[in-house]
Structure formats: C-alpha cells, structure tokens
Amino acid sequence: MKKILLIDDDDVFNESLKEYLEYKKFEVACAFDGKQGLTMMSQVQPDLIITDIVMPQVEGIELLDKVLMDSPTAPPKVIVISGGGRMGGCDYLNIAKEMGADSTFEKPIDFNRLVETIDRLLQ
C-alpha cells in the first residue's frame, strides 16, 4: 500500500481528504503544519507528499525545498496545493512547479482528479 503524507493546517480539509484517500486504498498520515510535516517525513517515509503552501511554522515552499534537498536522488513525489494567500494561489503554485513539485492543485480540489494524478505519479 502506497503511503501519503498530507500536510495542511485546515483540519476539516485534512480529515476529508484523508478519509477519501483511505477509501481509495492509500495509507495516509496527517500533519497540521509544515514543522510537524518535516518531523513526520522521516517517520512515515512517504511515497508521496501533499502539502499546502500557506501554513504556520514552516510554509509549503520551504517544506518543498527541504524535501528536494534532503533526498536529491530519490525524493518522494510532491503535490502542492494552495487556496491563495498574500499572493494569488496560482503564483504560489507556479513557484512550487518551478522548484520541482511534481504537480499542483488550486483549492477547491477535485478529489477524483487528485487521485488520478497520484496514481500516475506513483506508477
């Protein structure tokens, strides 16, 4: 079973997506901010990380940079999501894509399309 680490400070979104991904037969661990997500990465050893951009402690861009720097030869796949913030959501997503995110999604997310992307990335 493929492992996903879901990192988002929106509790309701995190729990809803976790339930949906578990229904689709993924093993899902949740973190509720970037700092907690970084700590959990070594414990969970995920195949894929889904992270929000705008979060307390450590933001998603910093987390993405750390993931890519810490495991340059075989980093987990990373999907970055954003509902906006100080800049528009698309601006954050474009930056994440340029940095090396495997895929990006703007909130609200179509969960079916997200699962299709996860399946493609984990093949």
All structural domains of the chain: 3-121 (3.40.50.2300)
Give the burial class of 53: count Cβ atoms within 10 A of its Cβ; 0-12 exposed, 13-18 middle, 19 or more buried.
buried
CA–CA–CA angle 22, 101, 93 (5° rounding): 95
86 or 52: which carries more pLDDT confidence?
52
Looking at residue 3, its pLDDT comes to 98
Distance in angstroms (rounded) separating the CA atoms of residues 97 and 101: 5
Looking at residue 87, its pLDDT comes to 52
Copy the structure tokens of residue 38. Answer: 């970084």
Looking at residue 84, its pLDDT comes to 66
Looking at residue 56, its pLDDT comes to 87
